[in-house]
Amino acid sequence: MKQFLLVFLGGGLGSGLRFLISKTFNNTFHNFFLGTFIVNIIGCLLIGFILGLSLKNNFLTNNQTLLLTTGLCGGFTTFSTFALEQHSFLKTGDYVSFAVYTLSSVVIGILAVALGFWFSKL
């Protein structure tokens, strides 16, 4: 039950932060959901960094790692919103934005995870 509550609390905090960032940035650029992109890339960076710290000399406990990764990062990032936004590009025939958003999200997301692991080793 303790682990459930940790995930619940972290997820709530992550979701709230995602809402604020998305609300602030999603209408910044035409045809690019910058808020969702920002939270997903920051989430990738954070999860790499947190897991890197967790693996490094047992820096974090299992419960702290669960709170921060499954909870905070899981609530903060959003694949379902990303997929919905991609659907809107396809629905309007904006294949260029679809391709740019998909490729940049996936490639930069993977690089951000690697960068997070790298930062944790400093």
The DSSP secondary structure of 11-61, one letter per residue, reads HHHHHHHHHHHHHHHTTSBTTB-HHHHHHHHHHHHHHHHHHHHHHSTT-S-
Residue 23 identity (one-letter amino acid): K
Predicted TM-score of the model (pTM) = 0.89
d(CA 120, CA 55): 9
119 with 54: CB under 8 angstroms?
no
d(CA 85, CA 101): 9
pLDDT of residue 29 exceeding 80, the answer is no
At 6, which helix (H) or strand (E)? helix 2-25
What percentage of the chain has pLDDT greater than the value 90?
84
The two tokens of residue 78 are 């959003």
pLDDT of residue 32 exceeding 80, the answer is yes
Please report which confidence band the pLDDT of residue 7 belongs to, taking 50, 70 and 90 as the band edges.
very high
The two tokens of residue 46 are 């954070």
Domain ranges of the chain: 2-120
pLDDT of residue 115 exceeding 80, the answer is yes
